[in-house]
Structure 1
Amino acid sequence: MERSRLVLAGLLQLLAILYALWFWGDRQYTLALLVFSLPPIVLMIGVMTRRRTAAFWAGVLALFWFSHAVMVAWADPVKAKFAWVGIVLSIGIVLATSWPAFAKRFGRKG
């Protein structure tokens, strides 16, 4: 499996773990897991099984995760550390989903 898929799968797994820790102790914890942790896990499985659209949807949802994390980092100083990790992971997901296209476009020719 190419490196970008492994990196993407690892980042998705870390994001799911981050959200599980982020919402730990919340009274709506199960709902938070369904909304925030389940999508990265499903996408990680899709990436690992080479589903064609899994990386695309990971990149699209990473924009949502990024926006959510920026909003929380700005508005809630108590949860800002979780939010900053989420920002870094979501940027990493966007880069990992884009890397094969960048390599193809700007890679060595000839």
Structure 2
Amino acid sequence: MSRRPWGLICILLLLAALYAGWLGSGRNGLASLLVFSAPPVLLAGALLGQWRHARYCCSVAALGWFSHGVMRAWTDRPDNLPAWAALLLALLVIALASGPAARARLASKRKPAPH
């Protein structure tokens, strides 16, 4: 049994809480919760359940969160702190989710090939 990535799980839950607080109220609150807060919570659950493809799905979803953060940081000029926070958390999700695979790939390239 492999170790659970607690750092990544915490960042996903923090991202979900950020989106819930930032976009969860207002006219489209329920839709925002379903679109922005539910996926990180579900992915955190997938990581807890040790689903094989959870890290990959986290990286793919984080690309969308990153893009959304860039767009909102650019357009919400007076109040764009939550957008910058989402953008940075998305980058952290990408780094934590793909770090182990990148390290393994680099380690395999360093080993000399047997002749």
**TM-score of the superposed pair, with normalisation by structure 1:** 0.89
The match for 2:97 is 97
The match for 1:86 is 86
Does 2:52 align with 1:52? yes
Q: Which runs of 5+ in 1 are unaligned?
A: none
User: Number of residue pairs matched?
Assistant: 108
Q: CA deviation at 1:79?
A: 3.6
- For residues 102 and 61 of structure 2, the distance between their equivalents in structure 1, rounded to whole angstroms, comes to 20
- For residues 49 and 25 of structure 1, the distance between their equivalents in structure 2, rounded to whole angstroms, comes to 30
Contact kept? 1:72, 1:79, Cα under 8 Å: no
Q: CA deviation at 1:39?
A: 0.5
Q: Deviations over 1:29-79 (max 9, x none)?
A: 111100100000000000111001111111001000000000000011244
- For residues 40 and 16 of structure 1, the distance between their equivalents in structure 2, rounded to whole angstroms, comes to 6
CA RMSD of aligned residues (A): 1.7
**TM-score of the superposed pair, with normalisation by structure 2:** 0.85
User: Quick check: which has more Rg, 1 or 2?
Assistant: 2
Which structure: greater helix fraction? 1
Matched position secondary structure for 2:25: coil
Q: Deviations over 1:80-106 (max 9, x none)?
A: 100000011000000011111122233
Higher relative contact order (CA 8 A, sep 6+): 1
Contact kept? 2:24, 2:30, Cα under 8 Å: no
- For residues 37 and 2 of structure 1, the distance between their equivalents in structure 2, rounded to whole angstroms, comes to 25
Q: Which runs of 5+ in 2 are unaligned?
A: none
The match for 1:26 is 26
- For residues 78 and 43 of structure 2, the distance between their equivalents in structure 1, rounded to whole angstroms, comes to 29
Large movers: runs of 4+ above 2 Å: 105-109
Q: Deviations over 1:2-46 (max 9, x none)?
A: 37x111111110110000011143111111100100000000000
